[in-house]
A and B are shown apart, each in its own frame.
Chain A
Amino acid sequence: MTVKLTVISALGSLVWGTLLAAMRVSPVPLMRGFGTAYVNIVRNIPLTVIIVFNSLGLADIFGVTMGATDFKIQGFRLAVLGFVAYTAAFVCEAVRSGINTVPLGQAEAARAIGLSFSQTLRLIVLPQAFRSVIGPLANVLIALTKNTTVAAAIGVAEAAALMKTMIENEAQTLLIGAVFALGFVVLTLPTGLILGWLGKRLAVKR
C-alpha cells in the first residue's frame, strides 16, 4: 500500500509540479503570481492538515468521493490528491532551480532561432533542467515515501497504520518497530542510491 501510494502520488505531483514551474517562469504575469502564491501557501501548511482536511472537509461536507463507492478506495484517492497537491509545490521548486542551472546561452540561442516560449521550454530548457535536478527530485521522492505514512491519519491501511495496530496488540514492541523501520530503510536507501547514480550518468556535461 505504501509503495502504491508513493508511485501514484509521485507521478501526479511530477506532472502538476512541472506545470507549476512552467507557470512560474511564463511570460504571463498572472500565471507567475498564481504559481508563486500556490507554492508559498501549500509549502507552509503541514501535510497532516491537508490530508485530514481532504477526509473531513472535502469528503464529509462537500461529498467529494472521487468517484469511489468504497470507503477505503475513497480514502486512498483523497490521500493521493493531498500528496499530489503538497509534493507538487516541492517538485516545482526543484524544477525551477533546475531551470536556473541551464546556462543563459541555451535559452538565448533558442530565442535567436525563433522558438516561442513554450518551444524553448519544452525542447531546450526542460530536458536539460530535468537531468540536473534528478538529485533534488530524488530527495523529494524519498520524502514522499516517508510522508505516505501520514495517510494513516485518515485510515488508509499503509505501513504506519499497520504498525500502530500491531504495536498495540502484540507484545514485542521493539521487534515490530525494528521490522517497519527496516522496511523503510530498504525502500528509501536504494531509491537514493539508484537515482543519485542515474543523476550522475545523465548529468549534462559542461
Chain B
Amino acid sequence: MSSVLYDTPGPRAKRRNVVLSVVFVLLLGLLLWWVWQKMDDKGQLKWSLWQPFTTSEAWTTYLLPGLGNTLKAAALSMVIALPLGAFFGIARLSDHRWVRGPAGVVVEFFRSIPVLLLMLFANEFFARSTNVTTEDRPLYAVVTGLVLYNASVLAEVVRAGILALPRGQTEAAYAIGLRKGQTMTSILLPQAVTAMLPAIVSQLVVIVKDTALGGVMIGYTELLNARSTFAANYANVIPSFIGVAIIFIVVNFILTSFASWLEGRLRRSKRSTGAVLSEDQVEMNPAAVGGGFGTGASV
C-alpha cells in the first residue's frame, strides 16, 4: 500500500504507524465505550427495546409501510421530474432568447430555494386552493416540492450532458440535413442520456433522503414518520432511530453502488466500441455531470 503522499514505510515509519494506529483505536474505543456506557446508564441496551425489530408486527405495521411510502414519493417525484427536467434543460439550450431566458430564470429560481420551503408552500397552497383530501395532501405536497426542485437540478444535468457531447455530432447532423428538432431527438439525446444515467441515479439518492423532510414537517407517513409511531408504541426512541438510519443507509448505499457500477460499465463499454465519445471526453463526462452537480445537489 503506497501513495504519492508518503514514502513506503520503512521500519521506523512502520513502528510509528503502529503506535498511531493503537492510539487511534484507543481513542475510538474510548469514545465507543463512553457511548455504550451512556446508553447502558439510560437503560437503552435492554433487549426489550430492541426486541420489536425481530417481530413481524413491527415491520408490517410500521416500518415497511413507511419505507413503501418513502419509495412511492421518491419514485413519483423522479418519474414526473425527469421529463420536466429534460424539457427545461433542452429549453435552456434553445436558440431563441425568449425561450432560453425564462427557462433559465425558472431553473435558477427553483434551484436556489430549499425543498422544505417548496413543500410547506405546496402544502398550504393545496389546503387553500384545491380540494385534495386531507389524507392525500401530504403526499401531493411532498411530491410537488420534490418535483419542482429536482426538475431544475435535472435540467442542469441534461444541459451539461448535452453540452459535454463533441461539437462534431451536431455539425455532422446539420451536414446531413437534419433539422434542429431531429438533431436533438435522434442524435444528441440518445447519447447524452447514457452519459447522464449515473448522475440521474445519484439524484435519486437525494430524492429518497429529502422525502424525510415531508415526514417531519407536513406529516407525510414515510419512514421517519412511521418511526415516531413505532417508537411511541414500544417506547424505544434510540433503537428506532438506529434502525431507521440503517434502513436509509442500506437503500441509499444500494443506489450509490448501482450508480458507480453503471458509470464504470458505461465508460468501459464506450471505450471498447470506441465509436461514440473520444477518450478524454469520456473522462470529462463524469466530472462535468457528476462532479459539478453531484456535490451541489446531493447535500
Chain A interface (Cβ < 8 Å from any Cβ of B): 25, 27-31, 34, 40-41, 43-49, 52-53, 56-57, 60-62, 86-87, 90, 93-94, 97, 99, 104, 107-108, 111, 116-117, 120-121, 125, 136, 139-140, 142-144, 146-147, 149-150, 152-153, 159-160, 163-164, 167-168, 173-174, 177, 180-181, 184-185, 188-189
Q: A45 and B245: CB pair below 8 A?
A: yes
Chain A residues whose C-beta falls within 8 Å of the C-beta of B109 in the assembled complex? 181, 185
Q: A44 and B256: CB pair below 8 A?
A: yes
A-B contact pairs, 13 of them (CB 8 A): A28-B17, A30-B21, A44-B252, A46-B209, A48-B212, A49-B224, A57-B237, A117-B6, A139-B295, A167-B121, A168-B124, A184-B117, A188-B112
Chain A residues whose C-beta falls within 8 Å of the C-beta of B224 in the assembled complex? 46, 48-49, 52
Q: B117 and A44: CB pair below 8 A?
A: no
A62 touching B42 in the complex, CB below 8 Å, given contacts A49-B248, A56-B237? yes
Q: How large is the interface on B (under 10, 10 to 19, 20 to 34, 35 or more residues)?
A: 35 or more
Q: How far is the CA of A54 from the CA of B197 in the complex (A)?
A: 35
User: Does B298 sit at the interface, judged by CB under 8 A?
Assistant: yes
Nearest CB of chain B from residue A184's CB, rounded to whole Å: 5
Task: Count chain B CB atoms within 10 A of each CB in A46, A108, A177 and give the residue with the most.
Answer: A46
Q: How far is the CA of A76 from the CA of B21 in the complex (A)?
A: 35
Chain B residues whose C-beta falls within 8 Å of the C-beta of A60 in the assembled complex? 237
Chain B residues whose C-beta falls within 8 Å of the C-beta of A44 in the assembled complex? 205, 209, 248-249, 252-253, 256
Q: How far is the CA of A180 from the CA of B124 in the complex (A)?
A: 14
Nearest CB of chain B from residue A136's CB, rounded to whole Å: 5
Nearest first, the 9 A-B pairs at minimum CB distance are: A143-B299, A139-B296, A44-B252, A46-B212, A46-B209, A48-B212, A146-B114, A117-B6, A149-B114
